Chains A and B, each alone.
Chain A
Amino acid sequence: MTAVHPVVRLLAQRIALGLVLLWAASVLIFVGTEILPGDVAQSILGQAATPQALANLRADMGLDRPPLERYLSWLGGAVRGDLGTALSNGQDIARAMGQRLSNTLFLAFWAAVVAVPLAILLGLVAVRYRGRWPDRLISGVTLATISIPEFLLGYIVIFFLAVEFRLFPSVATIHSGMSLADRLNVIVLPALVLVLTVLGHMMRMTRAAILNVMQSAYIETAELKGLPPFAVIARHAFPNAIAPVVNVVMINLAYLVVGVVVVEVVFVFPGMGQYLVDHVSKRDVPVVQACGLVFATVYIGLNLLADVIAILANPRLRHPK
């Protein structure tokens, strides 16, 4: 047998690390909801609950079993796709979540389709006109979008685009019977807010990553041989900045998944975020655990993907000596 290619070994290591992280995150989520001083049954029923009611609920939820056993059965179920049933209405969580997860991914997907190319383009423009007015304008506007929380951006957008000018609907109701065009029309505003929130970070980090490459000697060579500035950036700086830029994009996509929570509440969009927030206020612990696990999986998965692409994009690793 020949030796394993170093890229394969590196990838295997990284994926194994991702799995370990995911498992540890499941422990953290479980510990966070079950072993904290606030007893779940107590917090559902409130201080005035009778001891009998408490004991019944604890037995119902299986709280009388030891924590380790409960954790293992919860994790075992989650791996097989069984997330348990909701306390508040007794529905199967996995089934209730399916449609919502696809709605959320639909929204996040279209936001990403717009935000990623736009952020990279603006980053390139900012580097090209570094220190001059286009750079300052882009930096100033993105600083403003970073400084305002998502939910306020949401209401600002609703106030001006949905109420004053009546361009788009302010409430994003979506269901499976709608055509793609209708669905896209409905998610214009929430997607716009998501784009605005991640655009600033993504553009600033892209700009920093490319500026870092611009310090290299080969960039100076390209400049000295007389290439136009944009060609220097597009042909020499950008390809070498791909690994950090991919990293930036993935970090921001992961951030998008979190931003979705708030934006969904603003636009009453039937997705995962709305589902999570509703059940946190109902203190429906099984649903909260399941949502936390799904969000953590997506987040860790995207970060893992970023590392995998960075490894594959690094030419020094592709061609071993």
Chain B
Amino acid sequence: MRMPLSAAIGLFMTALFFAAAILAPLIAPYGMAEIVGQVWEPMSRDHWLGTDNIGRDLLTRMIYGGRTTIFVATAATLLSFSLGSFLGFTAAVAGGWVDQVLSRFVDLMMSIPSLIFALVVLSVMPVTLPVLIAVMGLLDATRVFRLSRAVAVDITVMDYVEAARLRGEGRGWIIFREILPNALSPLVAEMGLRFIFMVLFISTLSFLGLGVQPPLADWGAIVKENREGIVYGIPAALVPAVAIAALAISVNLVADWILNRTASLKGGRGD
């Protein structure tokens, strides 16, 4: 099946962001916390995006910031997906009280807005990267749980699952060998959206000063550091907006394509 142009662009841009994140120390022109010029210098040949509030190279900060943001968002997405889909499948396969307990607990977790819940928890926890990833991943696992349970409930009534049950396969086999392969496509598309949500979530927390701590850079913290410049007409704090929006739209384009592909598969046109 051919890839539409929009998805190809999205995939290319997403790959570019990830490559920049992984190769940050190689491609960044200066050191992450190195002070290389005056405060808020305009764009120039030495500093492509200018300098920040204490004279660090903004392009370097953006590259390292993307590294932190993308790393945290990826780790939290992986955590929320493995946990959420495993529990969701378990609830669908086991049914009965296991399903009831898990589903009602998730309803409860979702009755409090995740940002508020994260703030409540972060008021007593030390704000470190593992804690942030765990809090974000756990809160988001509730949404993955709902989706994967809904998808798996449709699959568990299929004949091949029944056949596996009659063969005497265990619950683990049914979850990983029968349901997971068939539920993968909608989950992967959702994964893109959850990843974007995580990027926005960690940026928001960092902006509020409750996420990534200095001197480590991340896109939300760059906004926070340069916000005073706005009133003097210095747009340094707006640079992360472009990066976040570009990443969000790229990933969305890819996710849309995957979703459309699975929709046409269901239509029975074959591939």
The answer to whether A147 and B208 have CB atoms under 8 Å apart is no
With known contacts A262-B207, A303-B111, A295–B116 Cβ distance under 8 A: yes
The answer to whether B124 and A43 have CB atoms under 8 Å apart is yes
Chain B residues, CB < 8 A from A299: 111-113, 116
* Among B9-17, B184-192, B196-204, the stretch in contact with A: B196-204
The answer to whether B245 and A147 have CB atoms under 8 Å apart is yes
| Complex CA–CA separation, A33 to B123 (angstroms) | 7
* Among B26-34, B83-91, B148-156, B227-235, the stretch in contact with A: B227-235
A25 part of interface (Cβ distance < 8 Å): yes
A174 part of interface (Cβ distance < 8 Å): no
* Among A1-9, A158-166, A182-190, A220-228, the stretch in contact with B: A158-166
The answer to whether B252 and A147 have CB atoms under 8 Å apart is yes
Give the residue among B113, B204, B223, B227 with the most A Cβ atoms within 10 A: B113
The answer to whether A149 and B204 have CB atoms under 8 Å apart is yes
B107 part of interface (Cβ distance < 8 Å): yes
Interface size on B, as a range, is 35 or more
Give the residue among B123, B232, B241 with the most A Cβ atoms within 10 A: B123
| B164, chain A: closest CB distance, angstroms | 35
The answer to whether A292 and B112 have CB atoms under 8 Å apart is yes
A307 part of interface (Cβ distance < 8 Å): no
| B100, chain A: closest CB distance, angstroms | 14
| Complex CA–CA separation, A28 to B117 (angstroms) | 9
Chain A residues, CB < 8 A from B214: none
Chain A residues, CB < 8 A from B39: none
Q: Which residue on A lies nearest to B232, using beta carbons?
A: A163
Q: Which residue on B lies nearest to A258, using beta carbons?
A: B113
Chain B residues, CB < 8 A from A29: 112, 117, 120
| Complex CA–CA separation, A254 to B204 (angstroms) | 18
Number of interface residues of A (CB under 8 A): 55
- Encode contact with A along B99-122: 1 for CB under 8 Å, 0 otherwise: 000000001110111011101111
In chain B, residues 151-210, which have Cβ atoms closer than 8 Å to a Cβ of chain A? 196, 200, 203-204, 207-210
- Encode contact with B along A297-312: 1 for CB under 8 Å, 0 otherwise: 0011001000000000
Q: Which residue on A lies nearest to B249, using beta carbons?
A: A147
A288 part of interface (Cβ distance < 8 Å): yes
Chain B residues, CB < 8 A from A296: 111-113, 116
The answer to whether B249 and A33 have CB atoms under 8 Å apart is no
The answer to whether A163 and B204 have CB atoms under 8 Å apart is no
With known contacts A143-B249, A261-B115, A38–B241 Cβ distance under 8 A: no
The answer to whether A288 and B119 have CB atoms under 8 Å apart is yes
The answer to whether B121 and A148 have CB atoms under 8 Å apart is no
The answer to whether B120 and A289 have CB atoms under 8 Å apart is yes
Chain A residues, CB < 8 A from B78: none
With known contacts A254-B113, A292-B120, A43–B126 Cβ distance under 8 A: yes
Q: Which residue on B lies nearest to A21, using beta carbons?
A: B111
- Encode contact with A along B227-260: 1 for CB under 8 Å, 0 otherwise: 1001111010110110011001100100000000
Chain B residues, CB < 8 A from A280: 119-120, 122-123, 208, 210
B125 part of interface (Cβ distance < 8 Å): yes
| A158, chain B: closest CB distance, angstroms | 6
Q: Which residue on A lies nearest to B108, using beta carbons?
A: A24
The answer to whether A21 and B108 have CB atoms under 8 Å apart is yes
The answer to whether B230 and A163 have CB atoms under 8 Å apart is yes
- Encode contact with B along A226-239: 1 for CB under 8 Å, 0 otherwise: 00000000000000
The answer to whether B119 and A159 have CB atoms under 8 Å apart is no
The answer to whether A38 and B244 have CB atoms under 8 Å apart is no
Chain A residues, CB < 8 A from B124: 32-34, 36, 38, 40, 43, 283, 285
**5 cross-chain pairs, A with B, having the tightest CB-CB distances, nearest first:** A147-B248, A152-B241, A258-B113, A288-B123, A292-B120
Interface residues of A (CB under 8 A from B): 21, 24-25, 28-29, 32-34, 36-38, 40, 43, 143-144, 146-153, 155-156, 158-159, 162-164, 170, 254-255, 257-258, 261-262, 265, 276-277, 279-281, 283-285, 288-289, 291-292, 295-296, 299-300, 303
Interface residues of B (CB under 8 A from A): 107-109, 111-113, 115-117, 119-126, 196, 200, 203-204, 207-210, 220, 223, 227, 230-233, 235, 237-238, 240-241, 244-245, 248-249, 252
Q: A21-B107, A28-B117 are in contact. List 12 more A-B contacts (CB 8 A).
A: A21-B108, A147-B248, A149-B204, A150-B204, A151-B203, A162-B231, A163-B233, A254-B113, A257-B113, A281-B209, A288-B119, A299-B112
A-B contact pairs, 25 of them (CB 8 A): A28-B108, A32-B120, A33-B120, A33-B123, A33-B124, A36-B125, A40-B124, A43-B125, A144-B249, A147-B252, A152-B241, A158-B230, A170-B230, A265-B207, A276-B116, A277-B119, A277-B210, A281-B209, A283-B123, A288-B123, A292-B112, A296-B112, A299-B112, A299-B113, A300-B111
